Structure 1
Amino acid sequence: MSEIINNREQLTNTSNKRQAILKQIFKDLHDGKSVTEVKAHFDAFIGKITIEEISRLQHDFGDLSVEEMHRLHSKHTEIFKDAIEEIEKTNKPEEQPGHPIHTFILENKELDKLVNDQMQRHVHEFQIEDNSDNVFTLLEDINLLFDIDKHYSRKENLIFPYLETYGIFGPTTNMWRINDFIRDAIKDARLKLTSYNGDKQAVMDVLNFVIQEVTTMIYREVNILFPMALNNFTEDEWVKIARESDEIGYCLIAPTEVWKPERHELEEKAMSEGFIKMETGILSLKQLELLLNHLPVDITFIDQDDVVRYFSHGKDRIFARTKAIIGRTVQNCHPPRSVHVVEDLLADFKAGRKDTEDFWIKFRDKYVYIRYFAVRDESGNYIGTLEFTQNIDPIKAIEGEKRILS
């Protein structure tokens, strides 16, 4: 028995030592050491790295500039490249059509063809001659690439929440930031091409940046994020992710089949027909849910601990919501660059400085009115926040009067 205990202690010590070395490697990169020097250190003391070890690393870089964030992530990719141990699996659900990872990989193949075959060729032609035809061709490529937002949104809203439940937070914050950098660069490329003024180098720079970052993100997903998720998620969680993917949409292609696991098919839980007695009436759970879903607004409720507890599910939702956000803190449901706005608003509600806050924005073809209400009990204690979202275009268009049914 003592021999077994000693072996376990030795394994634990080895694991802790490797984690300490890995943390030092990231610190060295952050402090400006060259990739060559750090890579030599990595090869000598680590060699091969597992997805589990990567998932245990906490990459908290704080408030870095866009350029610094890209520098670090590019170096991380160089360090890990060809060093990740492959995991042998006898049954690979990700190879089954309709499985979320199967769909993500198909999308990545299409994205790779778009940026590294099609766009690369068109960038070269533009570099030779920046005539209107070549500008228009690149603009068509960029418009296609805008579809990447759906790929990233599914990753952020369906994959990241489940990773967090397993205590894996690195990809949630840092990969989301890089996704946003790529989105911004694609928008910048479209703007420069739409209003092309002859500054060829500026266009070349942003297009090459987009191609490089999209390609690097594909590598990170395939070699780090997807294996990390496959190592942790249950079959039931994958089924839920597959079912909720349709609401967000797909990038360049769509799954041709519905994934049906061999083990079993999840049965929908029948909703209880119990009744709820309220101060002003009695409703069944079914009636209450239908009532909330038929409101001409979208509502979301988070509790006093900032955890998302409920959202209505009307047929014309303005912003996509998936069931994966239930039980997740609201801070982790927003892009990192906008989290401070959410935290400031909640702090004002909790402190009693405010009871409401309103915003209004143009979103696609809608004029969206977003309202937040502090929910308090009879004693004035804060118990949560209600988000209320409505397309007010039809209301703004109202003129005159309508007194009777027409």
Structure 2
Amino acid sequence: MVSLSKSTKLGELLDAYPFLVDFLPSISPKYQRLKNSVLRRTMSSRATLERIAEMGEMSVEDLIAAIQAEVAKQTGDPKEARKEALKGILRDLHEGVDLEILRQRFAELVKDVSASEIAEIEQSLIDEGLPEEEVKRLCDVHVDVFRHSLDEQEVPRPPDGHPVHTLMVENRASENIMAEIEAIIGEPSTLGGHMGELGALVERLGEIEKHYLRKETQPSPRLEAKGMSGPSQVMWAIHDDIRAVLKKANAQIKEG
């Protein structure tokens, strides 16, 4: 399937889905011109969906959404269409499309999709060779889209001693340490007098390594046993990013 983004070429799209020649005029009369084979051939190699959207006097987001829906309807494979839509979002992330627009596209894409299917789609992208860094970027959009709805839901309460409960307690402890660090660095004029305290806090925060090892050795193997290596790959990459930040912070504090 063709990955849909603002830079997708018209010719690439119509080669894959010829039925769109008849579909496009149904969403904008401006596209009636595309039924002219000479004009269509002229535009095919040059016109992107961004340009086609302008031609139809509609947003590229609305155009992509309409095409995705029609492709899913015609091909009978909505999951595959959603996967290609995620690829399009990633491509547009690369090209600097406004993050708010991409959030809206992602929210529209997943509004009727279960969390497990989203995970399956993201896993399939990884299996196809999507770089880890790209998965991290997609997850940032994913989390941002769901943050509001998650904030409105009741926080799960696993029993004391459960591995998930332990991880949650450790997260809250890390947040408290970060709040203390932010309070110190938020006052640059007095920062010099608190370097010792700051160093001690960063050292305490470094104990998050135990938390990371717990995550990497408890839930991750179980996910991977079910064929879901993607969450672990992203988690490890984020852990490594934070480890690097902590190492740099420690070095800077020691240098004064």
Please report the TM-score for the alignment, with normalisation by the length of structure 1: 0.38
| Cα gap change, 1:48 to 1:149, in 2 (>3 Å) | farther
> Counterpart in 1 of 2:145?
79
Secondary structure, aligned partner of 1:81:
helix
> Counterpart in 1 of 2:245?
185
CA distance in 2, matches of 1:107, 1:150: 10
| Cα gap change, 1:40 to 1:79, in 2 (>3 Å) | same
| Cα gap change, 1:45 to 1:128, in 2 (>3 Å) | same
Secondary structure, aligned partner of 1:95:
coil
Sequence identity, in percent?
Answer: 29
Deviations 1:178-237 (A, max 9, x none): 1011011101101100111xxxxxxxxxxxxxxxxxxxxxxxxxxxxxxxxxxxxxxxxx
| Cα gap change, 1:75 to 1:128, in 2 (>3 Å) | farther
| Cα gap change, 1:103 to 1:157, in 2 (>3 Å) | same
Deviation at 1:69, TM superposition (A): 8.1
- Supply the RMSD in Å over aligned alpha carbons: 3.4
CA distance in 1, matches of 2:91, 2:174: 33
| Cα gap change, 1:23 to 1:111, in 2 (>3 Å) | same
> Counterpart in 2 of 1:129?
190
C-alpha contact 2:181 2:201 (8 A) present in aligned 1: yes
> Counterpart in 1 of 2:225?
165
Within a 5 Å distance, the mapping from 1:140-219 to structure 2 comes to 140-196=200-256
CA distance in 2, matches of 1:153, 1:99: 16
Deviation at 1:21, TM superposition (A): 2.8
Secondary structure, aligned partner of 2:148:
coil
> Counterpart in 2 of 1:29?
93
C-alpha contact 1:142 1:186 (8 A) present in aligned 2: yes
Secondary structure, aligned partner of 1:129:
helix
What amino acid maps onto 1:113 in structure 2? N
Secondary structure, aligned partner of 1:130:
helix
| Cα gap change, 1:69 to 1:45, in 2 (>3 Å) | closer
| Cα gap change, 1:48 to 1:73, in 2 (>3 Å) | same
What amino acid maps onto 2:131 in structure 1? G
Deviating more after overlay: 97-106 vs 14-23: 14-23
Number of aligned residue pairs: 178
| Cα gap change, 1:88 to 1:52, in 2 (>3 Å) | farther
* 2:178 maps to 1:109: no
- Which runs of 5 or more structure 2 residues have no equivalent in the other structure? 1-72
Within a 5 Å distance, the mapping from 1:63-102 to structure 2 comes to 74-82=140-148, 95-102=158-165
Q: Which has the larger radius of gyration?
A: 1
Deviations 1:362-390 (A, max 9, x none): xxxxxxxxxxxxxxxxxxxxxxxxxxxxx
CA distance in 2, matches of 1:121, 1:22: 39
- Write 1 or 2 for the structure with the bigger share of helix: 2
CA distance in 2, matches of 1:181, 1:120: 19
Deviation at 1:48, TM superposition (A): 5.8
* 2:136 maps to 1:62: no
> Counterpart in 2 of 1:360?
none
CA distance in 1, matches of 2:83, 2:245: 34
C-alpha contact 1:50 1:85 (8 A) present in aligned 2: no
Deviation at 1:75, TM superposition (A): 3.9
| Cα gap change, 1:63 to 1:168, in 2 (>3 Å) | closer
| Cα gap change, 1:106 to 1:141, in 2 (>3 Å) | same
CA distance in 1, matches of 2:105, 2:224: 30
